[in-house]
Structures are given as structure tokens and as C-alpha cells.
A and B are shown apart, each in its own frame.
Chain A
Amino acid sequence: MMNPRTFFSSAAVASTALLLSATGCQRESTSEVRLNFDVVWDGAPFTVGDVALDDQGREFQLERLECYVSDFALHDVEEGWIEVDTVARIDFSLAESHALLSVIGTGDRSIDGIRMGLGVPADRNKDVDPASYDDLDHPLGFKGSAGMHWGWAAGYIFSVYEGRLLADPNVPFAYHAGNDTCFRSVELMWDEPWLLECESVDTEVELVLDAYACLHGENDVIDPEVDPETHTGNNLPLALRWVDLYQSAWSLKP
């Protein structure tokens, strides 16, 4: 027969363990969601550098597709939008390009939507010197922003879409949208909510950008032969047309 002292001691240990396992997610904890990015051309698989056909049947070569994304939020079915502060630079030519969301809270979450800023909010670009970041690899720092014309003189560009029509001679184009006027957000909802478990670190979500739709929309089409270039400051109307199409070109991977 078990010694009473041993029995109660064992029971206490067992009870404590049971209590801890039942209430482990009641403490504030962090879950991670990795956002992967893919690009398609009019819904079909596509890789930056490929040649595709535009709406006029012209050979279209997209050579550079990069953007800043930030100002994230996940939609919790019960709690509403949960904001997540992070900035990422996405290069669609690099398979490993991603954003990592650290979601702080208690308990599991039922997620059915995501909101993403296409660019960087004003407080992160207005007069902010990329050289001031001590973290050399920060996406908005000197090294991290190379090629994004990130700075007061160059224009704080949020998205870069460059390539050429393969005519003879070829017709290069470059659409650089930036500055606060071009900041947009996109909200995407899943048909069914999914469970984000507390303290999970292996959740992945895939966002898709249709590069064709960036120039071809229901109400507007940008023709590189007519409108080949904007760096925003020099051609704001074209930059605004581009970001409006760009905003509508995002979707969730089924």
C-alpha cells in the first residue's frame, strides 16, 4: 500500500502537470506565420525573367519585380484585426523571399483574413535616412534597401517593376511607385478560417501576385510603348495608375 505522504505528493505533482498542460496557452505567447510570395502571369505559373504575351500578343519580359510590404494584420474571427508590425523586402526572383509575422497573444486563433501594406507607412519613410539603421540587414537600411531608391533624394520607392517588350529595338519599361501617395493596403480573406495554434512556428501562407494584372485591369491597361516609365516624382499619374492595378493583382494561394 502506498505511503499516504507519497500518494498525496504524487497526486500533487500529477495535478500540477495536468493543470499546466490545460492552461499552457493561457499565457501570452508568440506564434509565427511565414508569408511566402509567388508570382503568376494571368494566372499561369511564371518566373521573373520569363517571356510571356501581353494583351496585344507582344512578347513581354519582366526582369525585375520587387516590393516592400509592411503594416500587416491577421483577422481573428472573434477578435478582429490583430496588427503585426514588420517590414519585409520581397524579391520575386528569389524563392526564399518571405515575410515573418510574429503574432503575440493568448490561446489559439481562428484566422480568416490578412491585411498587408503595399509599401511602408509614412513614419518609416519620411526623412528617414537608410544609413541610420545600425542593423545592416534591415530591409530599410543601407544594404537592405540597395536598389529600391530608398532615401529622400531617390524617392522612397515601394515597388519596382521593370522589363522590356521584345520588339526590335526592344522597349524597356520601369514602373517605380513610392512615397505616401502610393501607399496601398490589400485585404484578402480565406473562404474558411484556419487555426493558428499558440506558440506554433511552422505556419506558412502563400500570397500570389499576378504580374499580368499589374498592367492589365478591368478599367485600365498600361501600355509600355505609350507609358514606359515612372519614378513617381516625375510622373505621379502613371504611378497612381500602376499602384491601383498592383493593389488589385494580389490573391491568396488556394
Chain B
Amino acid sequence: MLWAVALGWSISGCDCGKDPQVWDPTPYELHIPPFFPPMDIPADNPLTVEGVELGRMLFWETRLSEDQTMSCGSCHLPEINFADPEPYSTGVTGAVGTRNAMALINLGWASSFFWDGRALSLEDQIREPVPHPSEMNLPWPEAVARLQDDDTDTRYPERFFDAFGTTEITEDYVVMAIAQFLRTMVSADSKFDRWRRGEVELTDSEYSGYQIFLREGGDPEEVPGGQFGGDCFHCHGEAGLQFTDHLFHNNGLDPSFEADPGRALVTGSPLDSGLFRTPTLRNVALSAPYMHDGRFQTLEEVLEHYNSGGVPSSTIDPFMKYTTGGLSLAPSQKADLLAFLHTLTDTSFVQNPDFQNPH
């Protein structure tokens, strides 16, 4: 009898020292860079090594699109700061979106998502693109079924077990995994970061550009309080080194907003017509085109927009107070401001192998 039992064990390949069904995720040690604030990570979706890796797999998974040709990475390209080089992205059906794909950088510190802030969590934001008819056009039940029925080397059911303790895949778990991955996409090694850490020096032009960034605009002889600056800091402040206030502003792009009411679509308030979320300026030199509709192809065009004062409208931000004259920056000042913006470029972020396509 004993020999029969022993034979049975040997045939089954029993690893008798471990229970294969024990869920034992590995905590992910997220490094918070110097001068960055703590990251608000939801208690119900802590970072784990397994969750982050699963999230990366899913971010680059083309099976999450109707015809299996697109993934999140199709519109959020690493070399474009995980944004889209086209003003509008084209989905699997050929439908074209209505806003420029935003850069995926330091999202763990954002308090709202999309240009109009309609998603208040990263998880809620991730839920939208997969079934959206202009994007991946795949209903969630079908997306989940494809992952559940995965018989490739990817072994999704096993990966979901490693990440969440169950082989039963759900929309929530897919979203949570991608959110974990996105939260690890931290950029903090631009030249400006290294300067703040005391590791490098800025050139005279870059430093001058930084001062212009921090000063109020306008000629004090003509505009009370003018400091000949660029007035950038009001919206793109460096609090937490994020270069965005995460708020919503009308920055003088249009006289009216029938084409895209912006934040007003979410709040219903006419005071929010034409307001859009302030994007970060981190890696801005890599993420053309610019604005919610990608209308500006170059940073020079962006500077010229602000330098000219923009277009008056009913909700134009008080900070766009120079619509009747503009900032009147000299060419050398614009060059310095551009030089400063380039110091916010972090190539190690866009080239980080941990963020690239693993398939």
C-alpha cells in the first residue's frame, strides 16, 4: 500500500513543500523622488510586483481591442511621452477622437483625469477607452472573456491569481492592474530635477527662462504688477514638482465653445465652459501636439499663443489678462523660456524598459 502511495506522489510531481494555491503577492516598493509629495494609492489597490507586471501586459495587450490590433500603447507612445503625435487618435473602427491623447506621466499625483476631469480616479479613467466606440470598441465582458480564455504563453488567469488571488478575471481587476502599472510611471530625472537636487547647473539661458516662468507678465509701465515674465507658474506651478495645478482653465484658445465645452460637460456650469485641465509640462518638449485639440504643433506656437494674449471669451481665465496686448516677450526671452522647458525633459522616463511593450 505504501509503495502505491509513493508511486502516486511521484507521478503527480507533487511539490510537497508548498501549497500552489496560496496567494502571496510581493509588495512593490515605489520610490518617491526627492521633493515629491506622497502618492495617494487607494487602499483597495495597493501596488504589488505581480499587479504592476500584469498591468504592463494589459496596457500593451492588443486583444483588448475589437480587431486585436490596438492597445493602450497604440495611442500613448513612449517616445511621445506616452501621448499621441496626432492631434486626435484614430480608433479600431477608423473613428477619430475629439481630443488629443494626454501624456501618461506621474499620474499617481493627479486628482482628476481626462481633459475635462470627468474621472476622479485612475481606475475610473482606465475603464473608458476599452469599450469606447472611437477607441478600442470592445465591450468589457468580451474583453474579460478573451483574457479568461487565454491559452497562450501569457497565461492571464495565472497572472491574475498572482496579482489578485483569483483566476476569475473581472473588469475591475483588469482596471486595477493597469492602474498599478500607471502609478509606477514616475518621471523625476529631468535636468531640472537634477538641478533641484544639486547635481547639475542650469545654463544662463535655462535659468533666465526659469525666472521668466516664475514672473508675472507684462510691462509694469502699462500693466499694474507686470514683471516682464511669462506668467506660466499660475497654472503650471512647480508644487510637488508636477508643473500643473491639476485645475481647469480657459487659456484663451477660442471665443466660444460650441465645438467642445470642456469642463462644462461634466459640471453643467456655464462658468466652466471652455475650461480644460492643466497638463503637466514634464517632457513637454516630447509630447507635441499641444492643447486639448492638438492645434499647436510646436512649443514655439504655444509660446506665441500666450505671448499674443489669446482670444477673449466669457470664461477666459483671469490669468490670461493680457488678451489685449499679450505678454510681449522679446525673442531672447522666448528662447530662454524654451530652453527652460527643455530642462523638463526626462529621456530615462520614456526609455525606461519597465514601461515598454513586453509582448
Residues of chain A within 8 A (CB-CB) of B233 are 149, 153-154
**In the complex, B38 has a CB within 8 A of chain A:** yes
Minimum Cβ distance to chain B for residue A49 (Å) = 6
CB of A163, distance to nearest CB on chain B (Å) = 8
**Residue pair A174, B37 in contact (C-beta under 8 Å):** no
Main secondary structure on B side of the interface with A = loop
Within 8 Å by CB of B271, from A49, A131, A147, A174, lies A49
From known contacts A129-B35, A143-B111, A238-B225, infer whether A154 and B318 are also in contact, taking CB-CB under 8 Å. no
A72 within 8 A of B: no
Instruction: Chain B residues near A130: list those with CB within 8 A.
Output: 37, 239-240
The smallest beta-carbon distance between B128 and chain A, in angstroms, is 23
Cα A233 to Cα B229 in complex, Å, equals 13
A119 to B319, CA, bound (A): 22
**8 Å CB contact of A134 from B36, B38, B239, B318:** B38
Q: Are B225 and A231 in contact (CB under 8 A)?
A: yes
Contact A154 B237, beta carbon cutoff 8 Å: yes
Q: Mark B84-119, 1 if CB is under 8 A from A, else 0.
A: 000000000000000000000000010100000000
Q: Are B323 and A147 in contact (CB under 8 A)?
A: no
The answer to whether B312 has its CB under 8 Å from any CB of chain A is: yes
Q: Which of A162-185 contact B (CB under 8 A)?
A: 162-164, 169-170, 172-174
Compute how far the CA of A98 lies from the CA of B269 in the bound complex, rounded to whole angstroms.
24
Which residue of the partner chain A has the closest CB to B35? A131
The answer to whether A170 touches B35 (Cβ under 8 A) is: no
- Shortest CB-to-CB span from A68 to chain B, Å, is 15
Whether B321 and A149, one on each chain, are in contact in the complex, defined by CB atoms closer than 8 angstroms, is no
A146 located at the interface, meaning its Cβ lies under 8 Å from any Cβ of chain B in the complex: yes
Q: What's the Cα separation between A134 and B240 when bound, in Å?
A: 13
B227 at the interface (CB under 8 A from A): yes
Residues of B within 8 Å of A132, CB to CB, are 37
**Complex-state Cα separation, A151 to B240, whole angstroms:** 9
Q: Please indicate the chain A residues that have their CB under 8 angstroms from the CB of B314 in the complex.
A: 170
**Residue-by-residue, is B308-320 near A (CB-CB < 8 Å gives 1, otherwise 0)?**
0000101011111
From A134, A142, A147, A174, B319 is in contact (CB under 8 Å) with A174
Complex: A141 Cα to B240 Cα, angstroms: 10
Q: Does B49 contact A (CB under 8 A)?
A: no
Size of chain A's interface in residues, with CB distance under 8 A? Answer: 37
Task: Say if the beta carbon of A158 comes within 8 Å of chain B.
Answer: no
Q: Which residues of A contact B35 (CB under 8 A)?
A: 129, 131
Kindly state the separation between the CA atoms of A184 and B16 in the bound complex, as whole angstroms.
Answer: 72
- Are B225 and A229 within 8 A (Cβ)? yes
Kindly identify which residue among B224, B246, B316, B319 contacts A235, using a CB–CB cutoff of 8 Å: B224
Question: Does B336 sit at the interface, judged by CB under 8 A?
Answer: no
Contacts of A234 in B (CB 8 A): 215-216, 225-227
Q: Do the beta carbons of A172 and B317 come within 8 Å of each other?
A: yes
Task: Give which listed residue, A63, A129, A136, A235, contacts B38 with CB less than 8 A.
Answer: A136
A46 within 8 A of B: no
Task: Give the residue of A142, A163, A170, A172 whose beta carbon is less than 8 angstroms from that of B240.
Answer: A142
Given contacts A49-B271, A228-B224, contact A145 B318 (CB under 8 A): no
**Is B214 on the interface with A (CB-CB < 8 A)?**
yes
Distance A5 CA – B65 CA, assembled complex (angstroms):
85
Q: Are A238 and B224 in contact (CB under 8 A)?
A: yes
- For window 240-265 of B, CB contacts with A under 8 Å fall at 240-241, 245-247
Q: Which of B36, B215, B318 contacts A164 (CB 8 A)?
A: B318
- Known: A136-B37, A174-B318. Is A153-B237 also a contact (CB below 8 A)? yes
A150 interface residue per 8 A CB criterion: yes
Contact A169 B224 (CB under 8 A): no
Question: At the interface, yes or no: B238 with Cβ under 8 Å from chain A?
Answer: yes
Q: Report if B40 contacts A (CB, 8 A).
A: yes
Please indicate the chain A residues that have their CB under 8 angstroms from the CB of B246 in the complex.
146
Instruction: Across the interface, name the chain B residue whose C-beta is closest to A142.
Output: B37
- The digit string for B291-310, where 1 denotes a CB below 8 A from any CB of A, is 00000000000000000000
B234 at interface, CB cutoff 8 A:
yes
Contacts of A235 in B (CB 8 A): 224-225
Asked if A81 is at the interface (CB within 8 A of a chain B CB), the reply is: no
For residue B316, which residues in chain A have a CB less than 8 angstroms away from its CB? 170, 172
A227 within 8 Å of B (CB atoms): yes
Give every chain A residue within 8 A of B323 (Cβ-Cβ): 169
B245 touches A147 (CB 8 A): yes
Within 8 Å by CB of B318, from A49, A141, A153, A173, lies: A173
Q: How far is the CB of A117 from chain B (nearest CB, A)?
A: 22
Binding site for B on A (CB under 8 A): 49, 63, 129-134, 136, 141-143, 145-147, 149-151, 153-154, 162-164, 169-170, 172-174, 227-231, 233-235, 238
Beyond A130-B239, A142-B109, list 5 extra A-B contacts (CB 8 Å): A143-B37, A153-B237, A153-B238, A154-B239, A228-B224
29 A-B contacts, Cβ less than 8 Å apart? A49-B271, A130-B37, A130-B239, A130-B240, A131-B35, A136-B38, A142-B240, A143-B40, A143-B111, A145-B239, A146-B246, A149-B233, A150-B239, A153-B233, A153-B239, A154-B237, A154-B238, A164-B318, A170-B312, A172-B316, A172-B318, A173-B318, A174-B318, A227-B224, A229-B224, A231-B216, A231-B225, A234-B226, A234-B227
What are the nearest 3 A-B pairs in CB distance? A142-B37, A235-B225, A174-B318
